[in-house]
Structure 1
Amino acid sequence: MKKLVLQFIYGVVVKAFLRIIVGVKFDNGKFLLNEKQFIIIANHNSHLDTMTIMASLPRQLIHKVRPVAAADHFGKTKFKEKLSNYFVNTLLIQRKRDKENPANDPIHKMVDALDKGFSLILFPEGTRGEPEVQQPLKPGVALVLLQRPEVKYVPAYMKGMGKAMPKEDSLIVPFNCQLVYGTPQIISHADVTPILEKMQHDFNALQEKLR
């Protein structure tokens, strides 16, 4: 039942709303059907970001993809946690490492989700920034990929989301928004820093493509 709910919400309702009301131009995500598993990494300016990426996915994949989100925000209460898990399919994690307790450690949780066959949506900046301004990338995604180097990462860049729904505003307004995908890639380094540098280069290239 959850699978059908997610497919209807994002494949029909949310996609139509974002396209017709907000004005989002979607890149074609059908190429993701050729990938067994992946981690979508994207810039982050708005709460619309997750909805936009989920709506861009082929319907067959929507229920197999889990957006990674902060537990202290989207899981503040048990009710909010259940809503988030059921209607967004979130993987809720805490913001800080907990190597002594793997059940709470965010890297362990993400690796475990991959091992269970899910793909992930991850925002390496960690939090929403100012519209069209990129923040430094945090190491979490690199640490996950170093543990599962066979999983490809897919860069995605969104333009205009922070204007359509700014960080401190819950009002959604029409704006010229766009989502573009890069090429799925396997990491080619064994250290965090060059992995993040390559991802930043990927974001810069996609941003330039949208200018």
Structure 2
Amino acid sequence: MQKLVLRFVYGYIIRVFLRIIVGVRFADARFLLKEKQFIIVANHNSHLDTMTIMASLPRSIIHKVKPVAAADHFGKTKLKAKLSNYFVNTLLIQRKRDKDNPANDPINRMVKALDDGYSLILFPEGTRGEPEIQQPLKPGVAMVLLQRPHIKYVPSYMKGMGKAMPKHDSLIVPFSSSIVFGEPKEILPGDDVSSILTRMQLDFNELQSEISTP
């Protein structure tokens, strides 16, 4: 049942709302159908970001993709966690490592989700920043990729979301917004956390330049 709900909500209702009411221009993401699994990595300026990426996905795979979200925010109460898990398909994780409890460690939980067959949506900045201003990338996604190097990452960049729904503001307003995707990429032999994050930052810079070009 959840699969049908996710496909209908994001494939129709939210996509139409974002496109017509907010003004989001969606890139064609059907290329993701060729990938068995992937990790979408994207910049982060707004709570609209997750909805926009989910609404961009081909409907047939929406239920197989889990946005990674902070448990202390989206799972603050049991009800909020249930709603988030059901209607957003989230993977709720804590923000800090927990090496004393491997089952609760965020890196291990992301790896397990991949091993269970899911793809992920990750925001390497970790938190929402100011519109069109990128923050330093945190190492979590690189650590996950080093443990599962056969899984490709897909860079994505969004413009205008921070204006349509700014941080600390629950009001959604129409604003010309866009989302673009880069090509799926595997990490390279010999890569470490630093080299992976450097390459991701270059990917974001290229997509930002692309999306800003009239």
TM-score, normalised relative to structure 2: 0.98
The 1-side partners of 2:21 and 2:191 are apart by 44
Matched, 1:193 2:194: yes
Matched, 1:6 2:14: no
Shift of 1:100: 1.4
- Deviation sequence 1:166-185 (CA, Å, 0-9, x none): 00100000001000000000
- Deviation sequence 1:76-100 (CA, Å, 0-9, x none): 0000000000000000000000011
Shift of 1:210: 1.2
- Deviation sequence 1:39-75 (CA, Å, 0-9, x none): 0000000000000000000001000000000000000
SS of 2:180's equivalent in the other structure is strand
Letter in 1 for 2:25: K
The 2-side partners of 1:191 and 1:40 are apart by 19
Matched, 1:206 2:207: yes
The 2-side partners of 1:176 and 1:120 are apart by 26
Letter in 1 for 2:101: N
Aligned to 2:126: 126
Any residues of structure 2 matched to 1:84-163 within 5 Å, and which? 84-163=84-163
Shift of 1:118: 0.1
Letter in 2 for 1:129: G
RMSD: 0.5
Which segments of structure 1 move beyond 2 Å, counting only runs of 4 or more?
A: none
Aligned to 2:83: 83
Shift of 1:190: 2.6
The 2-side partners of 1:210 and 1:28 are apart by 14
The 2-side partners of 1:5 and 1:195 are apart by 35
Shift of 1:102: 1.1
Aligned to 2:60: 60
Aligned to 1:172: 172
SS of 1:61's equivalent in the other structure is helix
SS of 1:69's equivalent in the other structure is strand
The 1-side partners of 2:153 and 2:100 are apart by 28
SS of 2:66's equivalent in the other structure is strand
User: How many percent identity over aligned positions?
Assistant: 75
In the comparison of the two structures, how many residue pairs are matched? Answer: 211
- Deviation sequence 1:11-38 (CA, Å, 0-9, x none): 0000000000000000001000000000
TM-score, normalised relative to structure 1: 0.99
SS of 1:114's equivalent in the other structure is helix
**Structure 2 portions without partners, runs of 5+:** none
